[in-house]
Amino acid sequence: MELFNILNKKGKASKNIAKERLKLVLVHDRTNCSPHFLSMVKEDIIKVIADYMEIDEEGLDIKIVRTKSGADGATVPALVANIPIKKMKDRRR
């Protein structure tokens, strides 16, 4: 019986992962945001940030999600960027 419980837990995790992926696909579709567009945004962000800090480009994660906005609580698309910083650059001149 314990084996069934373990398999059932994995099924729930897979279900939740699939659900989140589907949500992301729907958000991207509704915002007319292609993978190519996100790639261009990622490259531009890297160019701008490179003047101020050294980042882990492989670990850079950019996505569009739905979030609640303001007092009315309406859901809107939001650009979320997770940018691992290796070190800050000395910008004193």
Answer yes or no: are the C-beta atoms of 79 and 68 closer than 8 Å: no
Judge whether 92 lies within some domain.
Answer: no
Residue type, 35: P
Query: Is residue 93 situated within a structural domain?
Result: no
pLDDT for 11 equals 57
- The pLDDT value recorded for residue 25 is 64
Q: Is 66 helix (H, G, I), strand (E, B) or coil?
A: strand
Tally the domains of the chain. Answer: 1
User: Where in the sequence is the domain holding 64, given as residue range(s)?
Assistant: 2-87
User: Which distant-in-sequence residues (6+ apart) come within 8 Å of 68 by Cβ?
Assistant: 74, 75, 76
Q: How far apart are CA 18 and CA 12, in angstroms?
A: 10
Q: What is the pLDDT of residue 9?
A: 54
Looking at residue 3, its pLDDT comes to: 46
Q: What is the pTM of this model?
A: 0.55
Asked if the structure places residue 68 within a domain, the reply is yes
- pLDDT by residue, tens only, the chain of 93 residues: 454 555 555 556 777 777 776 666 666 566 667 778 778 888 888 889 888 999 998 888 888 777 887 778 887 778 888 999 999 988 775
**Can you give the pLDDT at residue 5?**
54
